[in-house]
Structure 1
Amino acid sequence: MASNTLANLQINLSRNQQLQEQLSSGKLLTKASDSPGGAVIAMQHRSDMATLDQYSRNADDGMGWLNMADTALKSASTQLNRARELVLTGLSSGTASSPEAREAIALEVDNLRESMINLSNTSYLDRPIFGGSTPGSVAYDKDGVYQGDDGKINRSISGNATVRVDTSAESVFGPETGNVFSLLGQIAEDLRRNPSGLNADLAGVDTAQKRVQAGLSGVGSRYNQVSEMQQTAQNRVLDLKAQLSDVEDIDLPKTITELALQQTAYQAALAATAKVIQPSLVDFLR
């Protein structure tokens, strides 16, 4: 009888200790043996959250690349608009008859060409965004010759979605044999020596502007895709955190109530045991 009573008291005391540990840690699960099934679910949730967090970081990096491309292409579009204005000015009858005026316009076109080369070498984290996967620091040299490669920079933003975050130089600045830099150089040359060639140059500027606009559209669509996938990943992480809390975290009011009841039951058991099992003279004689 005494052995059974002590065993039951020990079970009661162990339950007391378990509730106190849960209350102090705030967790239902502190080791796998607390709930093997719950531990498996918790580990799976944590693994999924780590994967989604990595996708979100990939998306952040991708949006950094695309933001830089968007800024550079907007500036390029503005400068091409200015180049078009200068070509039209060179074509006007008053300006066309003045070599000095055409020279001044040509100098501005030269500056636009240099500025466009600088834009083409826009970098993100020290890597040219129009240079493909080149390890070099520039996409175009000072003469407008491409120094990059045909590689692509991709970022995984979900389990089944990968997005290119760099931008093809040829698609926005034109093929190497007739890119926008050679076009601007030709415009400056025609302003100085062959004003009649400006009509063809004007058509070339319009073509270059269309390329840049198409590039801007592509960058914008990819940015939206990356942004939406990142938001999806972040929402999924919030859902997983809620599910993980359901598995791991205690219900605070419920646990406090259970602990109070358990302590009361333990004290009652002690009192009852003391009354039922009392030492006698025979116990001492034995």
Structure 2
Amino acid sequence: MAISGGRVTEGSIHTRVLANLQRNIAKGEKIQEQLSSGKQINRPSDSPTGTVSSLQLRGEARATQQYQRNADDGIGWLGTQDNTLTNMSTQTIAARDLMVRGLNQGASDPSANEALATEIEQIRSQLISFGNTKYMDRPVFGGSTPGPAAYDESGTYLGDAGGTSRTVGPGTKVRVDTTGPEIFGEGDTQLFKVLQDAADAIRAGDTAATSDALGNLDTAHNLLKTTLSDVGARYNRLEQMKQSAQDRLLTVTTQLSDIEDVDLPKTIMEMQLQQTSYQAALAASAKVIQPSLIDFLR
């Protein structure tokens, strides 16, 4: 029985050799592209699963960066309030000292009472100015008002009861504003009204009214101090959320680098091996392919 074998022609040899060389060149080009870009994923076909993971991590990184920016903005808001309220507390204590002096003095020295009343009114004007403190051109004690001020010159509230919050984490919001009435009170114990009542009472030498104003001032000052403590607590929370976002961003960046970035020493070694392999393939091809008639005619 005769055994038939496959016939290998010169053309088929050339085709196979060229195909192998082309694959070798394509592999070298891919490694060269990775070295040039520093990335092992330059298109989705390089790694479909890696591409999906990369897109998810990039989305999380963008969200985390936004949380950081929101936290920074909130820290700016609350830091402004903290500094302002601290100064206002100091001024309120100074006004209280003047009221105590006026209470002790009574109606014995009208000119001295006038000086005390004038000084208290000056403190009141300064406190109203503090009440209109702005951050990013918005009054921090005006709620969500788009207006330029939280209080007018008479101490009347111009803002609203709306709140301003910042999202600083997944499902986590922190309020960054404080409305004027929450800090300075309302009605007879409103800080600015109390100071004006005290100035009027001292100017008139009315010790009973001055004593009432002193009690109301203590109530207003306690509210201010309580609000200052709340502002400080929210400030600390934002600092913690910002640090948490920074830590998470570092983790995500590391994970993204593990997926996308090339191992440079390893890739350089692969490139060198590929070049050696290509040179060997060229040498082997030169021996396999037989000289053609054209070679003899040269």
Is TM-score (shorter-chain normalized) higher than 0.5? yes
SS of the residue aligned with 2:127? helix
For residues 98-125 of structure 1, give each alpha carbon's deviation from its aligned partner in whole angstroms, at most 9, with x where no partner exists.
1111111000001011011101111111
Q: Deviations over 1:56-114 (max 9, x none)?
A: 11111111110111111011100110011011111224x65211111110000010110
Alpha carbons of structure 1 residues 183 and 13: separation in structure 2 relative to 1, 3 Å: same
SS in 2 for 1:92: helix
Alignment of 1:1-286 (within 5 A): 1-93=13-105, 96-176=107-187, 178-193=189-204, 194-280=206-292
RMSD: 1.7
Listed as ranges, the gaps of 5+ residues in structure 1 are none
Q: Distance in 2 between matches of 1:90 and 1:98?
A: 10
Please state whether the residue corresponding to 2:39 is helix, strand or coil: coil
Letter paired with 1:55: Y
How many angstroms apart in 1 are the aligned matches of 2:120 and 2:166?
A: 37
Measure how far apart 1:14 and its partner are. 0.7
> Counterparts of 2:79 and 2:292 in 1: how far apart (Å)?
88
Q: String of CA shifts for 1:194-230, please: whole Å, max 9, x gaps.
A: 1232222221121111111111101000011111111
Larger Rg: 2
- Counterparts of 1:36 and 1:177, CA distance in 2: 69
CA distance 1:282–1:102, change in 2 (3 Å) = closer
Q: Which amino acid aligns with 1:135?
A: P
TM-score for both structures, normalised by structure 2? 0.91
| 4+ runs deviating over 2 angstroms | 280-285
SS of residue matched to 2:166: strand
What one-letter code is carried by the residue in structure 2 that aligns with 1:202?
L
Cα distance change, pair 145–216 in 1 and its aligned pair in 2 (3 A): same
User: 1: distance between equivalents of 2:289 and 2:152?
Assistant: 98
Counterpart Cα distance in 2 of 1:134 and 1:280: 90
Match of 2:10 in 1: none
TM score, norm. by length of structure 1: 0.95
**For residues 190 and 149 of structure 1, what CA distance do their matches in structure 2 show?**
31
C-alpha displacement of 1:168: 2.2
Given that residues 145 and 176 in structure 1 are in contact (C-alpha distance below 8 angstroms), is that contact kept between their aligned partners in structure 2? no
CA distance in 1, matches of 2:137, 2:88: 20
Q: Which runs of 5+ in 2 are unaligned?
A: 1-12
Query: Structure 1 residues 282 and 162, CA, compared in 2 at 3 Å: closer, same or farther?
Result: closer
Deviation at 1:283, TM superposition (A): 9.8
Cα distance in 2 between the residues matched to 1:282 and 1:97: 130
- CA distance in 2 between counterparts of 1:280 and 1:134 reads 90
Q: Percent identity?
A: 49
Any conservation in 1 of the 2:189–2:219 contact (CA below 8 Å)? no
Aligned-pair CA distance for 1:170: 1.2
- By how many angstroms is 1:258 displaced? 0.4
Q: State whether residues 66 and 166 of structure 1, in contact with CA within 8 Å, keep that contact through their aligned partners in structure 2.
A: yes
User: In the superposition, relative to structure 1, how do residues 3 and 114 fare at CA in structure 2: closer, same or farther (>3 Å)?
Assistant: same
Report deviation, 1:161. 0.7
Matches of 2:75 and 2:249 in 1, distance apart? Answer: 20
- Amino acid of the residue matched to residue 142 of structure 1? E
Query: The residue matched to 2:173 in structure 1 has which SS?
Result: strand
Structure 1 residues 281 and 137 mapped into 2: Cα distance closer, same or farther (>3 Å)? closer
